[in-house]
Amino acid sequence: METLLSDRLREGLRLRRHPGPCAVVIFGGTGDLARRRLIPDLYNLARKGLLPAAFAVVSFARRPLSDEAFREQVRQSVEESPDIPFDAAVWETFADRIHYVQSEFHDRAGYDRLQAVLADLDGRMGLGGNHLFYLATPPSAYHEIINLLGASQLAGRARRAGDVGGTEGWTRIIIEKPFGSDLETARALNWRVGEVFDETQVFRIDHYLGKETVQNLMTFRFGNTIFEPIWTRQYVDHVQITVAESGGIAGRGGYYEEAGVARDMLQNHLLQLLTLVAMEPPTAIEADAVRDEKVKILHAIRPYAAEEVAAAAVRGQYAHGAVDGRQVPGYREEERVAPHSVTPTYVAGRFEIDNWRWAGVPFYLRTGKRLPKRVTEIAIQFKVPPLLLFRQAGMEEMEPNVLTLNIQPDEGISLRFAAKVPGQATRIRGVNMDFNYGTAFGVEEPTAYERLLLDAMVGDRTLFARRDEVELAWALMMPILDAWAAAPPSDFPNYEAGTWGPDAAKTLIEGDGRRWRRL
Amino acid sequence: MTTPAVLQPLIAAPRRVDVGAVERELADLWRAAAESSGAEGVVLTRARTLTLLAYGATPEGAARLGEVVLQTSQRHPARSILLVTDPDQPALAAEVTASCRTVRRSHKQICSEQIIVRAAPDQRDRIPSVVRNLILPDMPVILYWPAPDPSDPFFQELREVADRVIVDSAAFPDRGLDALPARGLLRDTGEDAPLGDLTWGRLRLWRGLTAQFFDPAQGDALDRIRRVRVAHAASTRVQALLYAGWLAARLRWTVAQPFAPGSGPWRATLTDQRGHAVTVSLHLESRAPHPAGALLSTMIVAGAGPGGEGDATFSIGRNDDAGAVIATAEGESGPTTRQALPLEAQDEASLLAVEMDVLGRDRIYEEALRTAAALLGQS
C-alpha cells in the first residue's frame, strides 16, 4: 500500500519516470568525461528536480583529493558548462552529496573503502543499497575494476542473493565504449563482465542512442501509419548515414592511434543507427523486444569477404587544410601521432542487408574527422516515379523523394518532394518540408547523457547495447579491420582537411550510379 | 519558459482589416515576408501547432493579455486570436500581425501569427462566429480566460469551440470560504472542454518535492502522517487550498471536519485510509513581499510507526534570497536528506505555456480541486 500511495503522489507530475534512491559511483571521476559531462549532467538533473532526494555521487579515482577539493573541481566544471545554468543554492545541496574515494584501480583496499563509504551513505541517506557503477576510465582499466568489484562483493550478484548481510537493493554497471578493440577482446570483456554481473545489470552506453532524434526514429516509424508501408525495398532506393565531424582528434592522439575511425565510430554509432533504421517493428518498446530486432538486422547484414573489402569500404586520413576558414594540421602532425601513421580517420562503406525488407537496398555509411562541417543525418532516398510524365517540362528525370532525419546539430526531420513552380509552364522543382524540434517544441531537451543516466537509474536498458549486439557488430568489422591491417595504405594522407573525404569514397557510391548527398 | 528569446514583430504595426479578409491579409503578409527574408538570406518558418484564444474584457486588459499570449508562442507556435471588448470600437474589426524569434545558432526564424478581434460591447455576441471561421482546421483550440463567469453565455459559447479552457484561480476575487470559483467550472458530466489552471502550475515544484520525500525509502511514512501545515502569502488562499486538496486526494483522505471561518489559521480534520485523524492547517504569513497567495512553506509530520520508526518531518521552504525552494526530510531514526531546486519562473506567460502542454483532461487537478472544495464544505 505504501508504494501505491507514493506512486499516487507522482501521478500527474508529467515526469517520464523517476529514479528511486541510489548512489552513482564513477570510476575515473577526475577524468575528462566525468568532469566535463557526467557530473555536470547529474547536477543539471538535480537542478531540474529529476534526481531522488536520497542520492549520492561517489567519485573513485587515483588523484589524491579530499571530498572538498573534488567538489571544488567539479563546481568549476559545472560553472564552465555553457549550456547548464549555475544555481548556487542547488549546487550547495548537490555538493553535499558528492564524495571522493582515492584509490588505484587495482588496489583492493580502495574497494573496501568504497564499500564502507557506500554503507555509510546507505545508512545516513536511505539509499536502499542501490548502486550504479559507471566505468569512465580508459578501457585498459575495465578488467581489473570489474574483477575487484566482484572480489569485494560490490558487484551485486551476491548482494542480490542476500549473501552479504542480507542487504537488499540493486547494483548496475554502465560501461563506456569502446567495448573491446576487436571481436576477441570484446568477447573477453563480455566474458569478464558476465563472470561478475548478470546481463540484466549491464548497461553498455553509446551516447548517440540518447539523442532525441534517434529515439524519435522509432516514434516516427512506428507511431505513424504513412511511413512504415514504404519503408521497404519496393520504395527505397538506398540509405545514407553520415556522421561528419569538423573537429580533429582533440588531443586524443594516443587513443586514436590505437582505435582509428572504424573502431571509434563505425562499429558502434553508425551500426547502431543502421539497425534502428532497418529493424522490424518490435513487439513492444521494451529493452529486449527492441534489441532482439536490432540483433536480427546485425545477423542479416552481409559480412564482407576479405577480397570484397577493397571495393566496398574506403579508408582515408586527413592532411592539413582549412576548416571553417581556419588552417588545421594534418593527422600525422597531431600530438602523440606517429609521423608515418596509417591510422584511418575516414571510412565509407556499402552494407547490404539480406532480409525480405531490404534485399538489394544498399546502406552507405560514412564518417570522418576534419570534414567541412559537423553533421549527423540519416537519409532515406526513395526510388524515382516509374513513369516520366513531365517530358514536356524538359525533364529527363525526376528528383527522388528524400526523407532526412537530422540528428545533429539541428535535430529534425525533412521530406523532399516535387512541386510545380507556379505559372503557365510546367516546371517542377524539389522542395523541402521541414520539421525542426526547436520549432515545434520550444522546450529544453535533455542531453544524451542526462537521458541515459536516468534510464540506467530506473533500470531501462532499451537504449543500451546488449552483449550479442556488441559482438555481432565486431564480427562485421573484423573482415575490414583484418584486410586493412594486412594491406597498409600507401596513399595516406589522402584527403585534405575541410573536404568530404578521399576521392575513392566518391567512386564507391558513383560506381553504383548514386552520389553522396551534399550536406 | 526555459530559453527566453527576443521576439521581433514581422511588420512594423498590426494591419487593420475587415474581419472577412483576415485569411487573405495573412496570406499576403506571409508572401511578402518570405520574399524579403529570402533576399536577406534568412529562412522564415511559419509554425502553428494550435489555435490559442484569449479574451480581454477591456482594451487595457487585452493589451496585457496580448503580451502574455505572444510570449507563449516561443514554446507553442500558434495562431493566437485575441478577443477584445472595446467601447471605442464602432462595430467589429480585426488586426493581423506576426512575430518571430531567431533559432539559436542559425539563420532560421520561427514565426507565429496573431489576430486581434475588437468588438463594441453590444457587438460581443458576434465574436464566436468570427472565431469559428478563424480557428485552424483540425488543430487543438485552447481558450485562455483568467477569471470567467461560468454563467456568461459568451464564455459558454467560446468554451464550446475550445478543446481546453485555462483559467487562473488566483485571478478570481477571494471570497473567503467561497474561495474556489474554479470549482464551478468543473462539471461532473465531462462534456465540457477540460479545465486547466495557472494556479495549479504554481504548485508544480511543491508537488514534485513533496512526492520525492516519499520515495520507497520513506514510503511507509505516508501511512503515519498526522499533521500538515501550509503557510502562504496574503491576498488569496487558493494555492494553499489546492495543495491541501491535492495531498488529501492523492492519499485518499476524507474530510471529517472542514475549515471553519475565523481570524486565525484555518484548520480542518481529515481521516486517512486507516481511520487516523490528520490535521491540516493553513497559515497566512506576511514575512516579506511575495506573489499573491504564494506558498511559503509546508510541513508534513509523520508519527512514530509500529516497527519502531520515530517521528519524521518533511519540510519545504521558500528562500527568496537564495532564489530556491529547499526540501528537508528529517527523522528521529531514519535518513536525512536535503535538496534545493531553483524557484521556477511563475510569470503568467510561463505558467500558461506549461499548462498548454496538456490538451486532455487533467484528472489529478480536477480531483485536487474537488477535494479542496470539500475542505471548504462545498460539494
pLDDT at A166: 42
Give one word for A404, left, alpha or beta, with left for phi > 0 and alpha for psi -120 to 50: beta
Residue B52 zone, left/alpha/beta (φ > 0; ψ -120 to 50; rest): beta
A89 contacts B326? CB cut-off 8 A? yes
Instruction: Name the B residues in 241-270 with CB < 8 Å from any A CB.
Output: 247, 250-252
CB B268 within 8 Å of CB B229? no
Rounded to an integer, what distance in angstroms lies between the CA atom of residue B334 and that of residue B218? 8
Inspect the interface and report whether the beta carbons of A49 and B341 lie closer than 8 Å.
yes
Q: Measured between alpha carbons, how far is B193 from B148 in angstroms, rounded to an integer?
A: 14
Phi and psi angles of residue B231, each rounded to the nearest 5 degrees, phi first: -105, 140
Determine the pLDDT at residue A441: 66
The residue annotated as part of the active site, out of A18, A269, A320, A340, is A269
Q: Which CATH topology does B202-375 take?
A: Dihydrodipicolinate Reductase; domain 2 (3.30.360)
- Put simply, whether A371 touches B (Cβ < 8 Å) is no
Q: Which of A93, A98, A167, A458 best probes binding to B when mutated, by most B CB atoms within 10 angstroms?
A: A93
| Domains in chain B: boundaries | 7-139, 202-375
Q: Which residue is associated with the grid cell 588523484?
A: A63
pLDDT of residue A163: 39
Q: Does A200 touch chain B (CB under 8 A)?
A: no
- Residue B59, preceding peptide bond in cis (omega within 30° of 0): no
ipTM attached to this prediction: 0.79
Taking each helix axis from N to C end, the angle separating A271-278 and A467-486, rounded to the nearest 10 degrees, works out to 130
Contact A410 B106 (CB under 8 A): yes
Put the strands of the sheet holding A131-135 in their side by side order: A98-102, A55-61, A22-27, A131-135, A171-176, A202-205
pLDDT tens per residue, range A394-448: 666 778 999 999 888 877 888 888 877 777 777 777 777 877 766 666 666 788 8
Phi, psi (rounded to 5 degrees) for A348: -135, 140
pLDDT, tens only, A115-174? 999 999 998 888 889 999 999 998 889 999 999 999 998 987 544 533 344 447 899 999
**Chain B, window 86-145: residues with a beta carbon less than 8 angstroms from a chain A beta carbon:** 103-106, 108, 110
pLDDT in tens, chain A (519 residues): 444 677 788 888 866 578 889 999 999 999 989 988 999 999 999 999 899 889 999 999 999 999 999 999 999 999 998 888 999 999 999 999 999 999 999 999 999 999 999 999 998 888 889 999 999 998 889 999 999 999 998 987 544 533 344 447 899 999 998 899 999 999 999 999 999 999 999 999 998 888 877 788 888 899 889 888 999 999 999 999 999 999 999 888 888 998 999 999 999 999 999 999 999 999 998 899 999 999 999 999 999 999 999 999 999 999 999 998 889 999 999 999 999 999 999 999 999 999 999 999 999 999 999 999 999 999 999 998 887 777 766 666 778 999 999 888 877 888 888 877 777 777 777 777 877 766 666 666 788 899 999 999 999 999 999 999 999 999 999 999 999 999 999 999 999 999 999 999 999 999 999 999 988
The grid coordinates listed for A227 are: 511511413
Q: Cβ contact (<8 Å) for B364 and A88?
A: no
Q: Under an 8 A CB cutoff, do B75 and A440 touch?
A: no
Min Cα separation A56/chain B (Å): 10
Grid cell digits, residue A432:
523541402
CA distance A97 to A91: 10
Judged by CB atoms within 8 Å, which residues 298-327 of B form the interface with A? Answer: 319, 322-324, 326-327
Chain B residues in contact with A15 (beta carbon < 8 A): 208
Residue B6 sits at the chain A interface (C-beta within 8 Å): no
Residues 6+ apart with CB under 8 A from B314: B210, B213, B214, B218, B221, B299, B300, B301, B302, B327, B328, B329
Of A125, A409, A438, the CB nearest to B335: A125
The helix (run of H) or strand (run of E) holding residue A429 is strand A427-436
Omega of the bond prior to A178 within 30 degrees of 0, cis?
yes
Q: Does A52 touch chain B (CB under 8 A)?
A: yes
Clarify whether A207 is annotated catalytic: no
Q: Which residues of A touch B207 (CB under 8 A)?
A: 9, 12-13
Number of helices and strands (H, E) in chain A?
A: 18, 18
Whether residue A87 and residue B213 make contact (CB cut-off 8 A), yes or no, is: no
- Give the residues across from B101 on adjacent strands: B110
* Residue at A293: amino acid letter: E
Q: Closest CB to B324: pick one of A90, A125, A127.
A: A90
HSE at residue A276, side-chain half, CA atoms within 13 A, is 29
Enumerate the residues of chain A whose CB falls inside 8 A of the CB of residue B75: 441-443
Residues of A with Cβ-Cβ distance to B76 under 8 angstroms: 442
CB contact A83 to B (< 8 Å): no
Cβ contacts (< 8 Å) between B74 and chain A: which residues?
442
Q: Which residues of chain B have pLDDT under 70?
A: 1-6, 38-41, 103-107, 174-179, 187-191, 216-218, 287-288, 333-335
Between CA B313 and CA B299 the distance in angstroms is 7
H/E segment holding residue A478 = helix A467-486
Instruction: Report yes or no: A54 at the B interface, CB cutoff 8 Å.
Output: yes
Pairing of strands B164-167, B141-144: parallel
The phi and psi torsions of A85 (rounded to 5 degrees) equal -70, 135
Residue A87 to residue B324, Cβ atoms within 8 A: yes
The candidate with the shortest Cα–Cα distance to B85, out of B124, B40, B111, B137, is: B124
A101 bridge partner residues:
A60
Residue A479: CB atoms within 10 A of its CB come to 18
Report the distance separating Cα B256 and Cα B269, nearest Å: 6
Would you call A47 an interface residue with chain B, using a CB distance cutoff of 8 Å? yes
User: Closest chain B residue to A122 measured between Cα atoms?
Assistant: B335
Say yes or no: A442 contacts chain B, CB-CB below 8 A.
yes
| DSSP assignment of A229-246 | GGSSTTTEEEEEEEEE-S
Cell numbers for A327, please give them: 588552417
CA distance A62 to A102: 5
Rounded alpha-carbon distances, angstroms, from residue B376 to B179, B197, B244: 8, 19, 11
CA distance A463 to A456: 9
Is B205 touching A (CB cutoff 8 A)? yes
Of A9, A85, A410, Cβ closest to residue B250: A9
H/E stretch holding B28: helix B22-40
Per the omega criterion (within 30 degrees of 0), is the bond before A409 cis? yes
CA distance A46 to chain B (A): 8
Which among A11, A47, A444 is the nearest to B3, CB-wise? Answer: A444
The count of CB pairs under 8 A between chains A and B is 148
- CA A324 to chain B, closest CA, distance in angstroms equals 15
A118 close to A58: Cβ distance less than 8 angstroms? yes
| Residue A226 touches chain B, beta carbons under 8 Å | no
